[in-house]
Chains A and B, each alone.
Chain A
């Protein structure tokens, strides 16, 4: 086995980033197998039967029926031990961050995380995305994780494969943490993920009362309003409006960004937008690197005039 892709169960279906990880693994080349863990392992495997994979290995044991770091790290260790993949790949999700370093420590193999590209070496962003770095290793076995949208799930190669169940040997004393059911804190009636037009606000709005400008603009455009994390953390807008790695993933026809710097954790949630129009007073703001239209200026000056012009 050349590559083992560790899949993630997103409440019964395959996590979007797992599919992207398979696409990335296929691009690296060689024989690619996938590993599904937990009560939904068979269902996840079924989703992959039409893909070009060697096989899907399934592990279903009562100690890992739902996610826990102790159990998952040990299961992945045992599968790597037995199947000896050269490369282990996962999406760079919160879950991967939670347990994959433990696999790295257990097996003493390096984990290169958060890769955005494999051209010319494993590339990741460093120093708040101001620079990129290629990271390499001097050992034969490695673990990689791919940042959201580093590969497109549309580029997954079709084919066929089947599932094989893998027997793990887990001692009940292994799982030390007691995990409660996951829950959602607040849900709004706004469906950002299928919105066609989004006006999104960042800390560049400067004050809470200025946020109403974004709602006014959204109203004339027929758009929804979303926000960066600091705006949510300050309580200026509701948490369900947050876009980014800890918020929603959006892909509207227009993402109109107002005073957002373009930090990577924000960008992963909106870079799939068809058109990105950004206003920022800093000509060097990273958001401009992914914008189609970069308006250098003061949002507090431009937006009121824009609303006025649109209304007339």
Chain B
């Protein structure tokens, strides 16, 4: 007597036998599924990271320009020289400001989208957030260069609203000012802010979306007014999203080497430094040491965030 139900498909063919095998040995299936990505992560990603780290402990022979493959901290010493250290400070300050302002701008937008927007409005929200990501990064940065240029839209608007004086006053400030917005740190900042905003909004929105309405009602029920509810329930629960968003904006600003080249004063940012050191200058060890900086900074950032309990609500 056959155990198969009448009409059940007969078991033959190599594919069917394979699927039977996977059914009986799910771990084998899992191993097969995970091997390619793990190989990729292990070899291509972690491997190159290790190679990078190793390179940063080599040095360059000043006369021949050849890499000396011996352990030394000389390259890191070079990193701390004022010219190089300034680059690091400049980049970190820029990344921090972009992250801070990004968070401040993104939160209300994300909050509205998560708590109030429904149906069509929500679809429109996603569209508006994602739309910029559909066009080339370069096109958008160049567009901003035009907007911020001396003959650009911003100047035009300032002229016609009688705020030209304000704009000029801002541009005459030290550090943040410059000949025009497109040739100043302010311009670089604005473009970064624009570029990375979606990466801040979406994780915050996702984390707010997961806060059940009943939690907010419970806080109100127990005597918390809107402000208290926000500070004790909504904000802590959104914190993992804020941290995730800030990791994006912070890391993306730290590593970017195109935006400051197109919009901004001619001073270097970290990414540009890496680019010139490994390209024109051919100083791979210093380039490697420069690239280790954002990794270390992100490591510190994540550790501090974890200590402060940013991931407790995960």
Q: Do A and B come from one complex?
A: no
Residues of A whose CB lies within 8 Å of any CB of B are: none
Residues of B whose CB lies within 8 Å of any CB of A are: none
